Structure 1
């Protein structure tokens, strides 16, 4: 029987296999977390949300922090700052900012699990990933130099017509 060579820990093939394995493990964990998710439904009236604190307004959208909702999916990441935006009193957007993300790939994998493969481009030092479904537009921006991630999710039925 021939001798088996140990795997080189610097091997690009091994690194790719580890990334794929981690992404799959994260996706399975994320799927289980979203099944029990009690997030605020898109389009829900602001009156249906408990423990809400006004933050600011931009272009007719009123932004709030909500302290009594159970975070799930990408919102559950430690250090995530979540802001909810209401347009005409209905949930229109959710903005998530992560100051020091441990792994951008995990966040992207979580979104891919729910929304499929994104469009990707680089712009001004940021990687941009975009998804679109019948109901949502999602944009994730990550900056490698600072480990920052910004995610914007927008409910398409409430997007103002131009």
Structure 2
């Protein structure tokens, strides 16, 4: 778990500018999630954050804390630095809550493995996982979508 927290903290670092900004900032470095071609650019931060939190579950606060400590701050004064980091943590946490992702790992997938295996006529394997990941990316990009929408999308 320690290694996962370390890796996740670095992933969070790439998301902090987007989640802390009130503007529609785009993620610069997201090579850790593979292909997001089918995800609208406007939804990529939500999708990346959703996958990261699904991986971390309740430990996402710990990874966010580590990330805010690692995040560069250009204030030399230590007490001011602490306040700035606390504010950054709270801003990112609030953004995650606004996106409705604070318990994203509890969200039931619209399409399950059995659906994928039936649709693709497979008996299992890595293609099923890849399809489920794409379905989850779609679901995160379109949070009010239905299983029927996901099957057609």
The structure having more radius of gyration, on CA atoms, is 1
Higher helix share: 2
TM range (shorter): under 0.3
The answer to which structure, 1 or 2, has the higher relative contact order (CA under 8 A, 6+ apart) is: 2
TM-score by length of 1: 0.22
TM-score by length of 2: 0.23
Higher strand share: 1
